[in-house]
Each structure stands twice: as structure tokens, then as C-alpha cells.
Chains A and B, each alone.
Chain A
Amino acid sequence: MTAMLNIKDLRAYYGQVQALHGLEFGLNEGSLTTLLGANGAGKTTTLRAICNMVRSTGSIEFDGASLTGRSTENIVRLGIAHVPQGRGTFTTLTVEENLQLGAITRKDRAAVTSDIERMYDHFPVLKERHTQQAGTLSGGEQQMLAVARALMLRPRLMLLDEPSFGLAPLIVRDLFKILGKINREDKVTILVVEQNAQLALELADKAYVIETGRIVMSGSAAEIANNEDVRKSYLGY
């Protein structure tokens, strides 16, 4: 089975500093994969490199086509939605405008309207607040909005950068439940970067562990969860 996303020998740089040292991994279509690692291991950089938001070398293929040299906006147009760290909410615009922006590259306007209604079904709180400035939402609501905005693209691949960051545990559970549902029902391939390893491993079917810019371990989520080293380093028992 060929992977939907295939990454080979990925190296990324911030100025002179090298953050990724020859990263290799793949994502199968329809999978829900998590990328685990400590602070500064290169998780965020990996996601940013996929969307060409950081200088990088190596090969990244999506559906067999190379992403090298494509601008961020052109990569997004291929159906790769990226929920960045800090959520990237357009705080001065309304909730509904944020959702419309998620679908700004789509031409099927009737379907966009019905998709907005679908998002309101997924996230009822967004419907209640659809005319409010998005900056007035709580952290959890903004994360829901960020996920909903990404889904408005009707993406084939969704990249999430620490969706649990700064959220109350109950809200994180809700959010992860929704992610699992999106993955199963809408057939969206998901790559989620997390520090909350326990929850991420419950959710995912495949996992990679990254350390100082290299993949050091890979396997099914269950295997990784049972690995002695992972348990000590990331799960804390």
C-alpha cells in the first residue's frame, strides 16, 4: 500500500540552526497518526515543513506529487488543512467569517453553506456565537473553531498542532472524540502532534516518536503505548 503522504530525508532550518535531521515517515490514507515528542523535538517544525512554512530540503510527496517548491497557499489548495499551534484564529472577524475563510478556495458555494451548517451541528457552541468576534471565544471554543475552519476546506489530510494545548481535560476529550468521528465518518486522514501522549495514543491508530529532529520509533498506537521507554518518557508510569 503506497502512502498518501511520504516524507524522505527531510531537513529543516531556522536560519543557521538545523531543526530536522533527515526525517522519514509516511501516512496511509484514512489513518489517524500521532507524532509524539518532547519540547523542541521538531514536531511543529515537521508540520510547518509539510506546508512549506519553514526552509527545508528533502522530499515530501502527497498522492505521488512532490510538494517541494509549492507555496503554502498552493499546498493548502491540494486539500491539506493545517491547524497551527495557537489556533490561528482571525480574532477580529466573526465566527461565521472564520468558517467562510476556511472554504475560501472552494467554488461550490451552495455546498459551503451546507457545510457551515454541518459545522454548527458538530460544534453547537459555534452556532450560538456565529456573529461574535472570534477573539471573544474561550480557548476551547477557539480550538473548535480552528478545527471547524480546517474542515471547511473539505481536506483530504488534516494536520493538527497540539490541539489540546491550554484546554481543560474534559474539553480535550470532547475535541478528540470529534477528531475520531471526522476521521471515521468523513474519511479525513489526520496527523496530530501532541504532548498529551496518553490521550493521543488512545485516539490514534499509528504513532511515531520524534527526538531531536529524527524519528526514533514507529508502530501501531497500541505497540507504542506499551513500549517501556515511551511509558517512562512520555506517559509517566
Chain B
Amino acid sequence: MELFINQVLAGVATGAIYACMALAVVMIYQAIDHLNFAQGEMAMFSTFIAWQLMQWGVPYWWAFLLTLAFSFAGGIAIERALFKPLAKAPVLTNVAGFIALFAIVNSVAGLTWDFTIKPFPTPFGNSPFLGSQLISTHQAGMIGVTVGLLILLYLFFQFTRIGLAMRAAAALPESARLVGINTSWMIALGWGMASAIGAIAGILIAPVVFLEPNMMGGVLIYGFAAAVLGGLSSPLGAVIGGFLVGIFENLAGTYIGHVGNELKLPIALALIIIVLVLKPAGLFGRPIVKRV
């Protein structure tokens, strides 16, 4: 029983990271109807920025905040330079753009910081959380930061004018323009926020998977699985999907014989396919009431 609880809690901790990645993916998907394959690489690059700042002697939380600001600006810059010109281009052109972005960010990171694995600090420490053997302080920190972030995002989208404008622009761009919303900038803002959310995920997971240019590959696949499971049209679904995938991954690794641990990634991919076949809108992709 203790093993089970232990694995569920560990699943919630990594699930928090998947939830962040899924949320970043969904935010961009809602804005431009494309999956950002480079979301993980952008998060990895941000994590390297944080590492570099700390190497230069910047304290952890200052590096954290500076990295968020950098990622936010970087996300906007990428949208303005690369995806705004592609806004009316066919799907495949956009996919090519995402793959190019993936390769460029990955290579630039490798060129700048090389491909050796680097340890990444945690501000929470790695002792047992509240003296319990069930969860470490870093895992508790991952959960805490993510939950705090989710609450802030909820308040932002529900109770601020810009949040409302962003939701309107994503839902119905033409009507949004007709009430005076600059939809183009709302999309850019969405990119900035998604990029910053990805940065938080990268910084939190780096002490676990270690820092290197390919660190986010697996994480992003789990993030995609989470987004598909929860429903690409539902930010809340993406978050819940993230936690579910994290728990599922850990339990499968523990309880499915000796193959469980090796097959973790294929399990995520199988999950994507199963959901797409059985329930394409995802668990929480609300059927939208429509009157014609």
C-alpha cells in the first residue's frame, strides 16, 4: 500500500510538469490551431538560460524570474518572426516551421552548452517532505509551484480584461476584431505565456532528468499525451490529463512486470492513439453547444 501511495504521489509530481507542457501546447493550439512540436525545445533552451545565469552567480529565484521574462519575450519574438508570416499558410508549411524551430533550438543549445549532461540545482532540497518517506521536498515543490501557477492562470483568464480578450480571440477571431481586439497581438501574447509556462516546466524537471539538449523529448511526448487525453480544446482538461498521465506512467512502470519501466514511452504513445480512436475530443473537450 505504501508503495502504491508513493508511486501515485511521485506520479502527481511528474504529472505537474506534464500538465505545464500540455497547457503550453493547448494555449498555442487554441490560438493558431497547430501543435507546437518545438515547445519542449523552447523549454529546454529556457532551462539552459536559467543554468547559465546561475553559473554567472545569479541567485536561484532571480535566475528563475529573469528566465521567465526572457522566455516570454522569446516566445513573442518567435511568433512575430516565424509564425505570424505563416498564419495563412497551409498546415504542412506550419509543421515544417515547427520542425525547423525544433532543430534550430536544439542545435544552438548543443553548440552553446554542448551535449554533456549537467546537474541542475533545486531550491527545495531533496530530503523527505515533512519527514515522510512518500515524497521528496523537490517533488512537493514541483507540485506546489505548478498548482500556484495554475491558480494564477485561472484568475488571469477569468477575471482580467486581457484574459477575456485572449479567450475571445482564440474562440472567434473575426468577432473579436469586431469588438476592437487586436487578435494578432493576442496570439503573440499566447506564445509568450506558453513559452514562459514551458520554462517553468523545464526548470522544475531539470533536477530530475538532468540538463542536456534532449532533456525535454520524452517530457513533451507525455505533454502531448496529456493534452490529447484531456482534450486539446480544454486548458483544464490538459492539466487534469497531465496529472493522470503522470500517475498512469508511474503505476505502469511499477506494476507491469519487468517491462513496465522500459515501455513507459510507448505506453504514452499508445495512450494518444487509444484516446484519438475512442474519444477524439478528449475527456474534457466539452461538446460545444451550437445553434445554426
Min CB–CB distance A137 → chain B (angstroms): 8
Min CB–CB distance B164 → chain A (angstroms): 6
Contacts A101-B164, A101-B168 hold; do A84 and B179 have CB atoms under 8 A apart?
A: no
Tell me which residues from 164 to 181 in chain B have a Cβ below 8 Å from any Cβ of chain A: 164-165, 167-168, 171-172, 174-181
CB-CB < 8 A to A81: which residues of B? 178
Tell me which residues from 240 to 292 in chain B have a Cβ below 8 Å from any Cβ of chain A: 288-291
Query: Closest residue of chain B to A159, judged by CB?
Result: B178
Residue B182 at the chain A interface, CB threshold 8 Å: yes
Residue B88 at the chain A interface, CB threshold 8 Å: no
Min CB–CB distance B155 → chain A (angstroms): 15
Contact status B175-A104, CB under 8 Å:
no
Contact status A90-B171, CB under 8 Å:
yes
A25 to B28, CA, bound (A): 43
Give 10 A-B contacts (CB < 8 Å), ordered by A residue. A53-B174, A73-B180, A77-B180, A88-B174, A88-B175, A90-B175, A91-B290, A101-B164, A101-B176, A104-B179
For A53-96 the 0/1 string (1 means CB < 8 A from B) is: 10000000000000000011100110001101000111111000
Q: How many A-B residue pairs have CB under 8 A?
A: 76
A153 to B178, CA, bound (A): 10
CB-CB < 8 A to A102: which residues of B? 179
A105 to B161, CA, bound (A): 9
Min CB–CB distance B176 → chain A (angstroms): 8
- Which of the residues A53, A88, A91 comes within 8 Å of B288, measured between beta carbons? A91
Residue A51 at the chain B interface, CB threshold 8 Å: yes
- Which of the residues B172, B180, B288, B290 comes within 8 Å of A76, measured between beta carbons? B180
Contact status B177-A76, CB under 8 Å:
yes
Contact status B289-A133, CB under 8 Å:
yes
CB-CB < 8 A to B164: which residues of A? 93, 97, 100-101, 104
Min CB–CB distance A86 → chain B (angstroms): 9
Min CB–CB distance B177 → chain A (angstroms): 4
Min CB–CB distance B285 → chain A (angstroms): 12
Contact status B175-A105, CB under 8 Å:
no
Contact status A88-B291, CB under 8 Å:
no
Residue A45 at the chain B interface, CB threshold 8 Å: no
Tell me which residues from 137 to 172 in chain B have a Cβ below 8 Å from any Cβ of chain A: 161, 164-165, 167-168, 171-172
Contact status A135-B290, CB under 8 Å:
yes
CB-CB < 8 A to B291: which residues of A? 91, 135, 137-139, 142
Contact status A105-B180, CB under 8 Å:
yes
Residue of B161, B172, B175, B288 contacting most chain A CB atoms (<10 Å):
B175
- Which of the residues A53, A76, A135, A149 comes within 8 Å of B289, measured between beta carbons? A135
Tell me which residues from 68 to 99 in chain B have a Cβ below 8 Å from any Cβ of chain A: none
A149 to B171, CA, bound (A): 16
Min CB–CB distance B169 → chain A (angstroms): 10
CB-CB < 8 A to B171: which residues of A? 90-93
A139 to B292, CA, bound (A): 8
CB-CB < 8 A to A227: which residues of B? none
Min CB–CB distance A135 → chain B (angstroms): 4
Contact status A84-B180, CB under 8 Å:
no
Instruction: Enumerate the 5 nearest inter-chain pairs by beta-carbon distance, A residue then B residue, closest first.
Output: A88-B175, A105-B180, A76-B180, A135-B289, A72-B177
Contact status B180-A136, CB under 8 Å:
no
Min CB–CB distance B34 → chain A (angstroms): 20
Contact status B178-A72, CB under 8 Å:
yes
Contact status B179-A76, CB under 8 Å:
yes
